[in-house]
Amino acid sequence: MTRWMLVLASLYGFLGVAFGAFGAHALKEKVPPERLERLELAVRYAFFHVPALLAVAWLASACGGELFVTIAGWAFGLGVLLFSGSLVVLALTGNRRWGAVTPFGGVLLLVGWLALAGAGWTIAATGEFSTALDSAC
């Protein structure tokens, strides 16, 4: 899980920069402002979740396959794909049907944050977190 979380975090960071630059330069004069706002929102939420995915990767590496860590990883990974991905497609095409996908991604992002909180609670209660910090430093 650690490998794919690191790769996914890196890809989302790359795509955030690419779509942000594309929107700011290539699309600025070609699409309506409300579609550019959707693209900016997609980029912003992708970037918000890059550090979360990196934290999940680190926790997976340091603390093993803890259930909450696994749930957080999947929820963040799929949540960014559905939330930001649907907003990017909506911004680029103007096809409003993609807006129906966005809330599912948002719910997954919320699940990811709750699962990460659960992982923190569980790992801290077992003492694995301080062991993981000791081994990481």
Residue 136 maps to a domain? no
From 8-17, 62-71, 126-135, the region with the lowest mean pLDDT = 126-135
Query: Whose CA is closest to 14, among 87, 84, 82?
Result: 84
Q: Each residue of 17-54: b (16+ CB within 10 Å) or e?
A: eebbebbeeebeeebeeebbebbbbbbebbbebbebbb
Phi-psi group of 84: left, alpha or beta (phi > 0 → left; psi -120 to 50 → alpha; rest → beta): alpha
- Cβ–Cβ contacts within 10 Å for residue 108, how many? 19
Q: How far is CA 23 from the centre of its chain?
A: 20
CATH number at residue 112: 1.20.120
Q: How far is CA 104 from the centre of its chain?
A: 13
Residue 137 maps to a domain? no
Query: Confidence band (pLDDT; 50, 70, 90) for 28?
Result: confident
Residue 76 maps to a domain? yes
pLDDT tens profile 54-66: 999 998 888 776 8
Residue 103 maps to a domain? yes
d(CA 67, CA 84): 25
Structural domains counted in the chain: 1
Residue 116 maps to a domain? yes
**pTM across the whole model:** 0.87
- Structural domain harbouring 113: 2-127
Residue 54 maps to a domain? yes
Asked whether the predicted pLDDT for residue 124 surpasses 80, the reply is no
Residue 135 maps to a domain? no
Residue 117 maps to a domain? yes
